[in-house]
Amino acid sequence: MNEGSLFAVENLGFAYGETKVLHDISCQLYPGCFYGVVGPNGCGKTTLVDLLCGCKQPATGDIRLRGRALANFGKRELARQLALVPQEFDIGFDFTVEEMVMMGRHPHIGRFQAPTAADWDKAWAAMVSLGIETLADRPLASLSGGQKQRAIVARALAQDTPALFFDEATASLDIHHALRIFNIARRLARQGRMVLAVIHDLNLAAAFCDHLLVMKDGRLFAQGEADTVLTADVIEEVFETQAEVVWDAFSDALRISYRYFDAI
Ligand SMILES: Nc1ncnc2c1ncn2[C@@H]1O[C@H](COP(=O)(O)OP(=O)(O)OP(=O)(O)O)[C@@H](O)[C@H]1O
Ligand SMILES: [Mg+2]
């Protein structure tokens, strides 16, 4: 394991039945860094995130968290280390927003104990940071898609873990709320958390992430800072789309523009 890394992934492979979908993935994830995972539909991003969060077991290779095999962590113990905003969520019961967000505190609350004032504070701070405190008493089932997604993100923030995983957590959000979440994620990374987000919008990935993992066909195709890995050649090879990459003064970030018409 490299010194100081939170996650160490070595030669990771995974298959659904006979179909191999991840091959030979090795990487280190450090505290204080905001990672972006980009790649085409079906290339294995969600599978990788699920493996890192202990929701699936590797077929081959090894994942270590703080030097210890991920499989050796108990469920509650792991929930104090990492929080996941999944790409798809199925809310079985009719919880309110507040109940949902408080679930993020459960790994920290003893089995026969009630939430403390500090637990409520953390849940409320998470709701306020996402602008959903006025929805606290609403049943989740009554919310819009984007409001529901913000409640799930708030639950992960309330969990207050050293590692945070977002699998397309901003997919159904308007630009204001997407930027709000990306800024929160960036701030958490600056404060020493490890944040890893699967992102389809390459402009947002380039602007916010310190380090990008570019995936293709279940493999790590490239990794590094956005300006070194998100070149027009890489974008064309990975996404089969013609792009131009320039520095943009207004957004103070790379700007990727695409050839829209008659190119695909
Ligand atoms: N439960 C499953 N059973 C069989 N195959 C699966 C299952 N889940 C995913 N796959 C396949 O594994 C591959 C990787 O899927 P994964 O969900 O990791 O992709 P992804 O990169 O997250 O895609 P997207 O951008 O569409 O979310 C795909 O080919 C997919 O069809
Ligand atoms: Mg996915």
| Residue 16 Cβ contacting ligand 1 at under 6 Å | yes
Give the model's pLDDT for residue 112: 84
User: How many whole angstroms from 45 Cα to the centroid of ligand 1?
Assistant: 8
| Residue 18 Cβ contacting ligand 1 at under 6 Å | no
Q: Using one digit for the tens of pLDDT, what is the confidence trace for 90-140?
A: 776 689 999 999 999 999 998 889 999 999 999 999 999 999 999 999 999
Q: What is the mean pLDDT of residues 145-158?
A: 95
194 token code pair: 């490890």
Nearest CA to ligand 1 atom 24: 41
| Residue 37 Cβ contacting ligand 1 at under 6 Å | no
- Domains, the chain, in order of start with CATH, read 1-34+44-73+198-264 (3.40.50.300)
Q: Using one digit for the tens of pLDDT, what is the confidence trace for 77-90?
A: 999 999 999 998 87
Query: Rounded to an integer, what distance in angstroms lies between the CA atom of residue 83 and that of residue 62?
Result: 20
Cα dihedral value 249, 225, 213, 104, nearest 10: -70
Query: Rounded to an integer, what distance in angstroms lies between the CA atom of residue 58 and that of residue 69?
Result: 11
Q: Using one digit for the tens of pLDDT, what is the confidence trace for 168-181?
A: 988 889 999 999 99
Of 106, 119, 48, 29, the C-alpha closest to 75 is: 106
